[in-house]
Amino acid sequence: MNMNNLMKQAQKMQKRMLEIQEDLANKTVETTVGGGMITAVTNGQQELVSITISPDVVDPSDVEMLEDLIVAAVNEARNKAQELMGDEMSKLTGGIKIPGMM
């Protein structure tokens, strides 16, 4: 493989990676914790899009439980978004793990 072909392949891969990142911004993952009490939605770029809290879980005397549930929901949604990103990037790399890409 000569240097020109290698550069073309790198440019093609970079273009495809940008397309995947744009696509990921439009995909969402959702997770629910606490038996449906908290729902967090993140996009494929791991940004929190929304959070829904059931009124039943709002107890002024137990704010700590609500905080724990929110943290759990956000972390789980972020993990799902990371998995989604990894799945999409592995399509680009053919399953090869490239440091810094995933």
- Give the whole-number percent of the chain exceeding pLDDT 90: 50
Give the model confidence (pLDDT) of 41-78 as tens digits. Answer: 999 888 999 999 999 999 999 999 999 999 999 999 99
pLDDT at 91: 81
CA torsion angle 71 74 75 76 (round to 10): 120
Phi, psi of 53 (to 5 degrees): -120, 125
Task: Confirm whether 25 is domain-assigned.
Answer: yes
Half-sphere exposure of 58 (CA within 13 A, CB side): 4
Q: Model's pTM, two decimal places?
A: 0.71
Tokens linked to 81: 């978004």
* Structure confidence at residue 48 (pLDDT): 93
Helix (H) or strand (E) holding 17: helix 3-26
Q: How many domains does the chain have?
A: 1
Residue 28 confidence class, pLDDT cut points 50, 70, 90: very high
What pLDDT is recorded for position 37? 93
Asked, for residue 100, whether it belongs to a domain, the answer is: no
pLDDT-derived band at 95, boundaries 50, 70, 90 = low
Q: pLDDT tier at 101 (50, 70, 90 boundaries)?
A: low
Report yes or no on 101 lying in a domain: no
Domain membership of residue 102 (yes or no) is: no
Instruction: Read off the CATH number of the domain in which 76 is found.
Output: 3.30.1310.10
Range of the domain at 20: 3-93
Q: What is the pLDDT of residue 24?
A: 87
